[in-house]
Amino acid sequence: MAFKMTGWSPYTKADPRRTIGRGKNFNKANPTGTGTAAGGGMTQKGVDEYKRNNPGSNLQTAVTEKNPKGKRAKRRKAFCARSRSWKSERGLAARRRWNC
């Protein structure tokens, strides 16, 4: 009995972060721009796919409005605090997207 090798293994890492092509889940990081133009974060399509693959998760997209209120303001403040040391192109773009 022969079987076809598919390349899948239970020991491989999780789905890769894709920014281009099939299965795009992340926005491309742009060197300029703020808000969604900055890129560097997960797309709504990517968040929806992640939630499908991980039931019970509470993943959300970036808080991009200028003056969020309540829980969204706290989420932004917490993100900005923990991402302060991010210096890569993608990290800086994500911080611009969140208006940090």
8 Å CB contact between 24 and 43: yes
3-state helix, strand, coil in the chain (%, to 5): 35, 0, 65
Q: What is the pLDDT of residue 47?
A: 87
Does residue 12 fall inside a structural domain?
Answer: no
Q: What is the pLDDT of residue 15?
A: 59
Which burial class, exposed, middle or buried, applies to 13 when counting CB atoms under 10 A from its CB (0-12, 13-18, 19+)? Answer: exposed
Does residue 46 fall inside a structural domain?
Answer: yes
- What's the CA gap between 41 and 27, in Å, rounded? 5
**pTM for this predicted structure:** 0.67
Q: Name the residue range of residue 88's domain.
A: 35-60+67-97
Total of domains in the chain: 1
Does residue 53 fall inside a structural domain?
Answer: yes
Does residue 27 fall inside a structural domain?
Answer: no
Give the distance, in angstroms, between the CA of residue 14 and the centroid of all CA atoms in the same chain: 15
Does residue 80 fall inside a structural domain?
Answer: yes
Q: Which residues of the chain, if any, have pLDDT below 70?
A: 1-23
